[in-house]
Structure 1
Amino acid sequence: MNALTRATAATTALAALLALSACSSKAKDGDDDGRTAGGVKTGEGISGKTINLGVLTDMTGVYATLGKSVTQAQQLYVDKTNKDGGICGHKLKLTVRDHGYDPQKAVAAYTELEPKVLGFAQFIGSPFVAAVKQRIDADKALVLPQAWSANLLGSPYVRVIGSTYDLETINAIDFLMKEKGLKKGDKLGHVYFEGDYGESALKGSQHMAGKAGLTVVEQKIKPTDNDMTAQVSALKKAGVKAVVISAGPRQAASLVGVAAAGRFDVPVIGNNSAFAPQLLATQSGPALQKNYYVASPTLPIGADTAAAKKLVADYRKAHPKDSLDNGVVAGWTAASVFGEALKKACEDKDLTRDGVDKALLTLDDFDSGFGVTQNFTDPKAPSSKESVILQPDKKTTGGMKVIRQPGTAEAAESLSPSGD
């Protein structure tokens, strides 16, 4: 993640790498006749009685905490599924590559794994998914990204789970206006990462500002910018009444901590990837619990649902020394979605990439038990437009409590996939 700043500058290099890698041969590792004993068609990614799924994650970059939680939750799903007999007589297997949020490593990892897997249950990083999106469309290997840029919409093979960053930001600002005193005529600060993530979120704040009569004061930052002192100073001088942050957990903690130290007492709300519960043990912990909120595509890991309690118990048993966070929910949900698509494809006797892609398009009411129903029938739309508003709370399992239940702002309902 610390190399995201090179994403724009590396466009030429990435293009060359993509062109070179496109020449690589495809490995067909299914059964010789392309069918299982039960008459089910197979293809790439199926070797003997194993369904191979790829994981392109961040274990060493800015989103290392998220990547670890997502990956371990997905392995938990795989282990449970295999213990229960697998899917269509096949066991699931994850092949993991850590790209460290580096664009070239992400593209190289995709190039390596694509011929070997049926699809990808995880791909962290909107810019990196976007970089290979045309290839994904040609390869037809289903990708379920842990990324929510609106630019990823439109492909039947790249399916965003939950509301995109623009919609999530609109829902976040709706919360600020209805419950935190932000009103027409006010200035709203928006601190955001350069690149797909931040710019997608910015479109949401600009759309909401136009609808609600707000003025957006922008502060664009790089992922290597960890000290938000300059940004807080600029926003305070501009007289903003609230702040949206579309960045990483470190930047959010710095922003809220610096604001509190400078007696800049305004509410701050972040997108779903702008928090990690480990922050509650830092100097910024008290300020985060007082003045920080997070918009999330689902209920948190500490939700009072049977599914959440079961996942908490299973995850703690498998990883007793690791923290619980919403990455666990994201990973489990994505693996579950992929699993449901595989089950439907098995019923249709077609476990090829094309068969799995078509199967996903039939899922219109999937619920992993975290409060939001997902509809995957329209590739041009996210699977949901709802957001849950959370607040950091060290007393709650996973460090986040629910402040507002799942809902969609009127302005989010009216936003088209193109952002108009």
Structure 2
Amino acid sequence: MNLIIDNSNLFAGGGIQVAISFLKDLKNLNFDHIYHVIQSPNMAKAFGEVDFPNNFKFYKLSENAAFSKKTRIQQVKSLEDKIKPDCIFTVFGPSYHKSNYPKLVGFAIPHIIYPDSPYFKKLSIKDKLYSKLLAYFKSYCFKKYSDALVFETQDAANIYKEKYSFNKNVFVANNTLNEIFNSPDEWQKIPLHLDNTFNIVYLTANYPHKNLTIIPSIIEILTNKFNFHNFKFILTINKNELNFPDHYDQYIKYIGKVSINQLANIYEQSNVAFIPTLLEVFSATYLEAMFMKKPIIASDFGFSRDICNNSAYFCEATNPTAYAEAIINLYNNPEKGKDLIEKGEINLKRFGTSLDRTKKYLNFIEQISNKK
């Protein structure tokens, strides 16, 4: 097949990691397809094209394309018409233009499918209106400019299909554990000097939907209601990003942004994985915690239950007392934690590897391709 892999709208984070994994897997599979890879400037910087065989053709968009949808659309459409592919795979959408060739588009925008999330209650009226308009525009583009969609969870696929009466093909390919976790020789140590505390790790960036502001309330309940002081929250955030009052510092270890090679060692120094997020389609953090044999305390939503099944301690998302009680229960009942860990090991097996995901992507592409 003659394929376009469209990474033109990838800017940061998990989307770029998935795209890099996908390209590496395609190289390792060694099929005789021709891959035309359209790269955003940020994707090109994050990804080395070295040692890719001749059936991979890379096209880097101009820097202007990163800031102008119009420029990006013009450059991508020009390449599409020149290449004339059997199929286009936009790794994460939406795509903002109609193509003359079958197009599979990846979906990972939770704002569109979970409008009732408590996250939106935290927004100002202006921000709430902007978020609704943006969700409407993007959902319109997903529907109009794709021939099939691929979701990271069945929950997301079901909701989108019903909510937007999407009657084209819908596929599901779960996100997977990053390959670094299966390569202990590449793990890097990051000594945290935690002095035998009960360590609660939250690996996250500082986004409003990550629900970080609930942590001081949890600390208050743990220390005042339960008289529990022997604990530490480990946050991959800098202190000045959150501006929590200084008296919480004795219960929080701020370690700032870390590399993916350091994640495993952070888990090794932790007792519990804390994931109180208010809005996701998928987060690999759940899978990382399962792999590293750490019990998970999670906000109770459809996406978290879809991913974790019965292998997490679920809490009402905005209730600090529920999280505090979960922490105390896991501290006082090691058997409960062990049970969640064992269930997590079983649950993790259903997600497969990045290579399994890549094979699914190729299967979906073949199903909608012009070349049968």
How high is the TM-score relative to the length of structure 2?
0.34
Q: Judging by fraction of residues, say which structure has more helix.
A: 2
